[in-house]
Amino acid sequence: DAGVIQSPRHEVTEMGQEVTLRCKPISGHDYLFWYRQTMMRGLELLIYFNNNVPIDDSGMPEDRFSAKMPNASFSTLKIQPSEPRDSAVYFCASSPRTGWDTEAFFGQGTRLTVV
Amino acid sequence: AQTVTQSQPEMSVQEAETVTLSCTYDTSENNYYLFWYKQPPSRQMILVIRQEAYKQQNATENRFSVNFQKAAKSFSLKISDSQLGDTAMYFCAFMKMETDSWGKLQFGAGTQVVVTP
């Protein structure tokens, strides 16, 4: 497997525009996570899914943020409208459920810059 | 809620030397996992080592080992025989051991490790 694939790797957009980040998890993984990394707040969990169903979205900062997982191989994180303070690196991660032996596998992240 | 604290923003070490990174955490849970992830300049998050709280034996992975003190809620990482490729940000992370929390991580602020020739 190629690992968790995120696209794009870099995104620059103007304030007010809609931004969509994409993620393809590792095949067979039951869990998918969206994290945001900033200098001020470090790595924080935004939302996660189990078998395509959102389980906990308490980390989503505002209604401007939304995430979907229409099937087991694809997820999106959308920001509409985007603001400069949304500038960050956004990571997608997936995790199998294999008894107690688990780890989260991360994608390479999308660096978002909102100007 | 859990908190993870890494009190060392940056550590410098010479090649072939040993460096120890500290991590403390606060939790009321009895069963959990602890992890160290490495983030090199490429930005990729890479799992370095994992420790199950119910295991008393400290985990080791080649040159990486941990000192897990459950009562003290301490989880330090030792990098032995440091190599230039170890230069990265290192994150300590906590995960509850429960059905709805597989892979859900609480991260510390990170420690930047710089290995010098």
Distances (CA, A) of B113 to B49, B82, B116: 16, 10, 10
Q: pLDDT at position B116, please?
A: 97
**A17 Cβ neighbours under 8 A, 6+ residues apart:** A81, A82
Q: Let me know: does A4 contact A110? Beta carbons within 8 Å.
A: no
Cβ neighbours of A45 in B, within 8 Å: 104-106
Q: Let me know: does A104 contact A35? Beta carbons within 8 Å.
A: no
**pLDDT averaged over consecutive 10-residue blocks of chain A (115 residues)?**
92 97 94 94 93 92 95 97 97 81 87 98
List the single residue in B with minimal CA-CA distance to A39.
B109
The CA distance from A74 to B77, in Å, is 35
Q: Let me know: does B95 contact B105? Beta carbons within 8 Å.
A: yes
For the stretch A69-104, what's the b/e string if a residue is b when 16 or more beta carbons lie within 10 angstroms of its beta carbon?
A: beebeebebebeebeeebbbbbbbbbbbbeeeebbb
Q: pLDDT at position B51, please?
A: 94
Cβ neighbours of A50 in B, within 8 Å: 100, 102
Instruction: Work out the pLDDT band at B109, boundaries 50, 70, 90.
Output: very high
State whether A109 and B103 contact (CB < 8 Å): no
Q: Is the dihedral of CA A50, A51, A54, A55 positive or negative?
A: negative
Q: Report the amino acid identity of residue B51.
A: Q
